[in-house]
Amino acid sequence: MLVLGFKNYFKSFRFFFVPLGALSLGIVAGLSVMVPMSIGAIKAFIAGVAKMMGQLSVDWNAVKNTLLDAVKSLDWANLENIFSTLGAKEYWMDLLRRCAEAAVGDTSEMATQFEGLVGEAVTKIATSLTLGVFLAVIGGFVGYISTRSLIRHDIAKRSIWKAILNGIVKTIINFTVIAFGVWLIGKAEKYGILAFLLTVLLYGSVSFFEAYLVHGYKKIPFKKVMRVKNLFELPILTVVEFGLAAAIYAVVSAITNALVGAYVAFAVFVITIICMQLNAEAYVKSLAVNEGKDTVDGKSFGAAYAELAPDQSRRANRSAAVKAEAPEQIATSDEQASAEAAPAEPPQEK
């Protein structure tokens, strides 16, 4: 099983650009929506601020008087106190606030308008970002479905009715197994590792049972599928395949950067997850195909032998007839040879 699993895993990398292409198409579609909407929101925000500022009337005399009052309020008798006051951040923030209020009067209405412009711009940008991410996710999902369909057709093809049956059975059994595994691990706190191993083996048994229903029912014996060796090899194959995918991501990220690594890792992990899901089905499918070939070869041999049997019987009968006629022919030949070999009698005298 391990050899077949690794063979199918590496062979499936020929579909590497299917999920990658679908994800790229989704990202491009998302950017085509997100970028224009974001630019439009920023332009509307700038235009709103410019319009708001154009409606303001600035009283520069009030600003000048506010600055003069601030200078007069300093303690000029104590220079050290003046330097400490001017070096404080809070002093300058309060001074700017008083100057702004003196310049435009009541700023509450302006602040409300500004907050409205900011909120509208943020809402539009967030909406565009959501649509862009949604389209990218749709592209990735389409890539996953397409790749899964291609790999399944290649290593574990099934009919639509078997797919529906497998989906129903898988949903029920997997829910039961997961619930039982959680319950078992929770109950066996001291033996958590043992409970985890039992859960893994139980999940492998369910995977092989589902695969047998889809690909091996009435084709191969069930005991040929449900072997202890297979139950241990399936999780080993899963862990190794996942480890290879993680190693590919780490190498690509180290050579390039994390963004490129994540982009490449998407396709790698899609193929890995699909192969992990189809390992049991691919194995049972190969057993059924090999069993079918053996059966077909046996039937072909029997049919060919049945066709040759009459010819063999006719040939045997002919051989027996030839052997029965052979002694008479041999005796006749001996008499003729004796007659030819005997000397001729001399003519009698009269």
pLDDT for 237-269, tens place per residue?
888 999 999 999 999 999 988 888 999 999 999
- Quick one: which H or E segment has residue 245? helix 228-255
What average pLDDT score do residues 339-347 get?
Answer: 49
| Residue with the larger pLDDT of the pair 89 and 300 | 89
Taking only the tens place, the pLDDT of each residue in 206-248 is 788 878 877 777 888 888 888 888 888 888 888 899 999 999 9
Does 72 score more than 50 pLDDT? Answer: yes
Can you tell me the distance from the alpha carbon of 1 to that of 209, in angstroms, rounded to the nearest whole number? 16
Task: Supply the DSSP symbol for 159.
Answer: -
- Quick one: which H or E segment has residue 291? helix 258-341
93 alpha-carbon distance from chain centroid: 56
Q: How many CB atoms lie within 10 A of CB 118?
A: 13
Between 157-166, 167-176, 309-318, the lowest mean confidence (pLDDT) is in 309-318
What average pLDDT score do residues 309-327 get?
Answer: 56
The confidence score (pLDDT) of residue 265 equals 92
What average pLDDT score do residues 263-292 get?
Answer: 87
What average pLDDT score do residues 279-303 get?
Answer: 69
Does 291 score more than 50 pLDDT? Answer: yes
Between 196-205, 277-286, 328-337, the lowest mean confidence (pLDDT) is in 328-337
> Is pTM, for the whole model, over 0.75?
no
- Summary mean pLDDT of the chain: 77
The confidence score (pLDDT) of residue 185 equals 63
Q: Are 6 and 233 in contact (CB under 8 A)?
A: no
Question: Which amino acid, 16?
Answer: F
Can you tell me the distance from the alpha carbon of 316 to that of 328, in angstroms, rounded to the nearest whole number? 20
Can you tell me the distance from the alpha carbon of 156 to that of 212, in angstroms, rounded to the nearest whole number? 12
The confidence score (pLDDT) of residue 284 equals 86
The confidence score (pLDDT) of residue 350 equals 38
Q: Name the band, by pLDDT with cuts 50, 70 and 90, for residue 302.
A: low
Question: Which amino acid, 169?
Answer: V
Highest mean pLDDT among 12-26, 178-192, 327-341: 12-26
Can you tell me the distance from the alpha carbon of 289 to that of 282, in angstroms, rounded to the nearest whole number? 10
The confidence score (pLDDT) of residue 105 equals 64
